[in-house]
Amino acid sequence: MSCGATLAIALMLSNPAVAEAAAQPPAVADAPISVASEPLFADIVNRSGVLKAVVDGWHASRAADAPGFFTGADFLDFKTRAQALAETDMQGHLILKERGTDGDLKCILRGISEDIPKKIAAVEAATSPALRATALSELSYLLNDNVEVITTPPQHDAQSGVPAG
């Protein structure tokens, strides 16, 4: 069995929405497809929105500047949920790849999956309140992008007539 097939099976067993998303029909070549209503992608949107609200709350209250913040239960829970979101983004990428979708969404989801842990590490590594505020802002933008790339309806490329995104 190939590594890709093994990974796909493992991912399907970890989240029931993955199996449902993987069962969707292949993309039609000339029709833009929105996946926003599919359970896996709706879950990504929901979790990203919730985590973004948490980050925005920390940013506004400057909670991350408090001693012991990064070893506290709130932050550790956030990291766990953010890692799970990153894994689900990767599942979305693999599903879209398997469907043969050649739009940007599959690549964006992979990038977001890889960037979430990096942005969290940047928040943890920030050595001043100003740097931490910037890192929190960047994490918030990334989580917002995760929502917007899924919920923005796909568009046709005006010149080629090929779906963009």
| pTM of the predicted model as reported, rounded to 2 decimal places | 0.75
Distance of CA 88 to the CA centre of its chain: 7
Q: What is the pLDDT of residues 12-36, one digit of tens each?
A: 556 665 656 656 655 555 555 789 9
Beta bridge partners of 156: 163
pLDDT at 77: 98
Q: What is the pLDDT of residues 50-109, one digit of tens each?
A: 999 999 999 999 999 999 999 999 999 999 999 999 999 999 999 999 988 767 899 999
Q: What is the pLDDT of residues 118-163, one digit of tens each?
A: 999 999 999 999 999 999 999 999 999 999 999 988 765 544 444 4
pLDDT at 163: 47
Would you say the C-alpha torsion 84, 87, 93, 95 has a positive or negative sign? negative
Q: Domains, the chain, ranges and CATH?
A: 3-24+36-152 (1.20.120)
| Burial of 4 from C-beta contacts in 10 A (0-12 / 13-18 / 19+) | exposed
